[in-house]
Structure formats: C-alpha cells, structure tokens
Chains A and B, each alone.
Chain A
Amino acid sequence: MFDILHDHLALFLVGAWPHGPLGGVANTLVLAALGLVASFPLAIAVGMAQVSPWRWLRTGADAWTRLVRGIPLLLIIFWAYFAVPLLVGAEVSAFTTAVCAIIVYESAFLAQIVRAGLESLPRGQMESARSIGLSWLQSMRHVQLPQALANMLPSIVNQSVSIIKATSLAYVIGVPELTYSAAQVNTITLTKPLQTFLLLAAFYFVLCFTLSRFAGWMERRIARRRLGLA
C-alpha cells in the first residue's frame, strides 16, 4: 500500500497538474469549497423563507427543500449535465456541471441548518427587533442572522464533510478529482485494486474525520462559552 502511495502521491494530491488540469485531493477541496461558498447565500434565502411570516413563501421554500432532498445527487448531476448548457446557452465543463449540482443539492441541506439556527433563537429577539421599528428583513439582517450564524458554525463544518463526500460523485461524469485519481492509479497498477481503493478511502477519511472532529470541538467550545456567560 505504501509503495502505491509513494509512486503515485502526486496523482492523488494534485492529479495531472502542473502539466494538465488540477485534480486529486486539491480539486476535491476546490469543488467542496466552491460548493459550500456558493450554496450558502441560497441556503440563507431558503432558510429565511422557511421561517418567514408569509405563508406562500414558506410553502414554496418547504417544497423546494423536499424536492431536492428527495432526489439522489447522482440524478441531480445528470439533470445539471442536461439543463445547465441549455440555460447558459453554451457548452459547460464537467467541473462546472458538478459544482452546479452540488450547489443545488447542498443548499437544501444547509437551508435546514439555517432554519434550525433561526428557530432556536428566543422569540423575544424578533419581537423586540420589530418593536423598535425594524422591518422583518432588517431584524433578520441585524438581529437574528448574526446570532444564528454563530450558533450554526459547527453544523456548517459538519455539512462540509458531507459536501466533500458528495464531490466523489463528480467522478461519474469524469471530473478529475480524488476518486478519479484513484481510478487512474488503479488502471496503472492493475494488480492492486484493494490497496488502491483503501488508500483512496484513507484520503477521504483523513479529510472528513479531521473536519468532523473540528466541528465537535467547536460545538463544545460554544456550549462552554454559553454556560460561562449564563
């Protein structure tokens, strides 16, 4: 196993770069980071809509999250493969397709985190913000969201674990990321599929395990700080 790691470390870490496109762990992280950053505004909008006082907005946002949560990510990727070029009117790379699909998919799950964060705040926050004359949107912007976001941080880090795992599906449409690298290494070494794919699993494990431990640490810290303040 270590000989594979030794021989193909570069392929696992950065893919064909610098002689070709970026791949491997680096591209997995780029995919995940783009997915997280771009889906976040969408998630905040959907999460806010879900707790808004307007019934039609709540229903719409609820239907959207159910729809997205109800479809396998792989099917969303195929939809994106079909629909994104039609929408932008040009050919779109597999990488962009994967990012679009991940944004749509993760926005629904992140929206649930945003919603839970907003719902966990005491009602008095909104009521006092409204009573000093702020509009609903203003009180969201200046009172509720800042508090909710701080509480949501551990859940967001946890969700980024799931985003990293989700990026592995980009392999199916040929995006050169970590899983793709392993498949390449497997065709080069040929006789050691178990070692190659366990190595792949180990790469993901290190990334995701570290992140989820970090989320746990943050959660405890926030809980402790809150106890200290109260």
Chain B
Amino acid sequence: MFDLSFLLEEGHLTLLRNGVLTTVRLFVVSGLMASAIGIALATLRALPIRICKALVVAIVEYHRNVPVLVQILVWYFGVPQVLPEALKLWINAGNTEFFLAAVALSLNSGAFVSEDIRSGLRAIPYTQHEAAWSIGLTYLQSLRYVILPQGIGAALPALVNQALLLFKNSSLAMAIGVHELLYRTKQIDNLTFRTFDIFLVATVLYLIGTLALMALAEHFAKRRTAPMGV
C-alpha cells in the first residue's frame, strides 16, 4: 500500500526537496514583485491623469481576461524575440525559465493586487479623510496614519487570497520547464512509476501552503468584521 521508502532511494528526496524550494522561491519572489507592481499600479490609477488611468485599466483587463498559462507562454516564447541582444544574454545567463515565469506571474498577480488595494481604499468612508484633515493632518499624513492603515486592513483578506492564487499558479511554470514542485513530482513519477504515492505527497505539500493561506485570510476577515461591526 502507501509506502514512501522509494523516496529515499536514488536521490528522489533531493529532487522533491529542490522542487519544493523552487516553488517557494518562485512564490516569494513573484509575491514581492507583485506587491510592488500592485502598489505602483494602484497609485498610477489614483492619479488624476486620464492616460495613466486608461493604461492601468488596460493592464488589469489584459491580466484578468487571459489565462495565466497563456501569459507565461507569451513571456517565455514571445517576449525574448523583441528584447535587445544584451538583455537576452543577461536573462539567458541566469535561469531563463525561472526568471520569465516569475515576471509573468508577478505581473499577473500585481494586476489583481492593484484592484484589491483600490477596493480596499474605496471601502474607507470619505468622512475619514475629512476628519483627518479637520484635526490638522496634511494630505500625506492623513494617508499615512488614517487611510492606508484602514485600507490595507480592509484589503488584507483579498490580498491573502491573491497570495493563495499565486501559490497555486506557480505550478503552471512547469509548462515552460521550471523545476518546481509539480515538475519534480512528474519527474519522480516517471522514474519510479509510484504515481499514486508521489501525487499524494505533492498534494499534501501544496495543501500545507494553501490551507495555511486560507486560514490566514479567514483570520483577517474575521478580525476586520468583529470590532467594527457596523
């Protein structure tokens, strides 16, 4: 029956461990970049310049309405074609697949993050701005001490959900040959034919990450509704 001793043979465990590490690395790198991109896009959209707004809307709609896998394929197969030679050499000197997968994933996630930030900020009633100004805070101070802390709090459950999606989407990087968890799982499956066992191991490993993120999102959602209770 269920027996994991095959993992201890011929370096299978190392393959699996490297897969987990790559998945975690891809998730962390893309998550950090996505946060930065999301904040940048949300800021651009808040500016009173029409062209900025239109640009952000176009970026968000593209990433919303095209499958993540296709976005990854565009970056992996398409974009290098138009990059300058020097930049291409620089990318290819490192781990090309990992780099381009990270770029695609963080742009995709960043677009969604910017929307979550926006709706988080919109959830703050305008009276909060007015109250902040009336006690003498400047615009920036009111943002820093009054609006952003509440807005981020309102957006947190959605942002953690976004992290959950990013974590799952990182598995799509296997389609372009990134050696992440799912890629290694298939590899070990091909080497050992222990399909059921290794798939179960991979499932449990993914669930550890995703169930933790789900619990975190619920925790934030509860914390937010409990004290305000309006």
Most B CB atoms within 10 A — which of A161, A179, A193? A193
Q: Determine the interface band of chain B, counting residues with CB < 8 A from chain A.
A: 35 or more
Contacting A66 at CB < 8 Å: which of B77, B79, B214? B214
Contact B203–A71 (Cβ < 8 Å): yes
Against A, the Cβ 8 Å flags (1 = close, 0 = not) of B171-206 are 110110000001001100000000110010011001
Q: Tell me, rounded to whole Å, the shortest Cβ–Cβ distance linking A98 to chain B.
A: 13
Contacting B68 at CB < 8 Å: which of A79, A165, A186, A212? A165
Contact B64–A201 (Cβ < 8 Å): no
Contact B206–A72 (Cβ < 8 Å): yes
Contact A209–B61 (Cβ < 8 Å): yes
Contact B70–A179 (Cβ < 8 Å): yes
Contact B66–A204 (Cβ < 8 Å): yes
Contact A71–B65 (Cβ < 8 Å): no
Contact B203–A75 (Cβ < 8 Å): yes
A168 interface residue per 8 A CB criterion: yes
Q: Which residues of B contact A179 (CB under 8 A)?
A: 67, 69-70, 73
Q: Which residues of B contact A209 (CB under 8 A)?
A: 61, 65
Q: Which residues of A contact B171 (CB under 8 A)?
A: 72, 74-75
A198 to B185, CA, bound (A): 30
Contact A194–B206 (Cβ < 8 Å): no
A161 to B67, CA, bound (A): 10
Q: Tell me, rounded to whole Å, the shortest Cβ–Cβ distance linking B19 to chain A.
A: 12
Q: Which residues of chain A from 69 to 84 have any CB-CB distance to chain B below 8 Å in the complex?
A: 69-75, 78-79, 82
Against B, the Cβ 8 Å flags (1 = close, 0 = not) of A50-74 are 0000000000000000110111111
B210 interface residue per 8 A CB criterion: yes
B1 interface residue per 8 A CB criterion: no
Contact B206–A193 (Cβ < 8 Å): no
Q: Which residues of A contact B67 (CB under 8 A)?
A: 164-166, 168-169, 179, 204
Chain B residue at smallest Cβ distance from A73: B168
Contacting A72 at CB < 8 Å: which of B66, B73, B169, B195? B169
Contacting A201 at CB < 8 Å: which of B66, B164, B169, B186? B66
Against B, the Cβ 8 Å flags (1 = close, 0 = not) of A161-192 are 10011101101100000010011001000001
Q: Tell me, rounded to whole Å, the shortest Cβ–Cβ distance linking B176 to chain A.
A: 11
Q: Tell me, rounded to whole Å, the shortest Cβ–Cβ distance linking B97 to chain A.
A: 15
Q: Which residues of chain A from 192 to 221 have any CB-CB distance to chain B below 8 Å in the complex?
A: 192-198, 200-201, 204-205, 208-209, 212
A73 to B172, CA, bound (A): 9
Contacting B77 at CB < 8 Å: which of A69, A75, A186? A186
B81 interface residue per 8 A CB criterion: yes
A169 to B168, CA, bound (A): 13
Q: Tell me, rounded to whole Å, the shortest Cβ–Cβ distance linking A71 to chain B.
A: 6
Contacting B69 at CB < 8 Å: which of A82, A168, A195, A205? A168
Q: Which residues of B contact A196 (CB under 8 A)?
A: 77-78
Q: Tell me, rounded to whole Å, the shortest Cβ–Cβ distance linking B207 to chain A.
A: 5
B46 interface residue per 8 A CB criterion: no
Against A, the Cβ 8 Å flags (1 = close, 0 = not) of B40-80 are 00000000000000000000011011111111011001110
Given A194-B79, A197-B74 in contact, is the A205-B65 Cβ separation under 8 Å? yes
B87 interface residue per 8 A CB criterion: no
Chain B residue at smallest Cβ distance from A204: B66
A residues sitting closer than 8 Å to B (CB atoms) are 66-67, 69-75, 78-79, 82, 161, 164-166, 168-169, 171-172, 179, 182-183, 186, 192-198, 200-201, 204-205, 208-209, 212
Question: Across chains A and B, which 9 residue pairs bring their CB atoms closest together, nearest first?
Answer: A194-B78, A70-B210, A208-B65, A168-B67, A72-B171, A165-B67, A193-B77, A72-B168, A197-B78
What are 16 inter-chain pairs, A to B, with CB distance below 8 A?
A: A69-B214, A70-B206, A70-B207, A75-B182, A75-B185, A75-B203, A165-B66, A165-B68, A172-B175, A179-B69, A182-B70, A198-B78, A201-B71, A205-B61, A209-B61, A209-B65
18 additional contacts (CB under 8 A) given A69-B164, A75-B206, A78-B186 = A69-B214, A71-B168, A78-B199, A82-B196, A165-B67, A171-B175, A172-B69, A179-B73, A183-B73, A194-B78, A196-B77, A196-B78, A197-B73, A197-B77, A200-B73, A200-B74, A205-B62, A208-B65
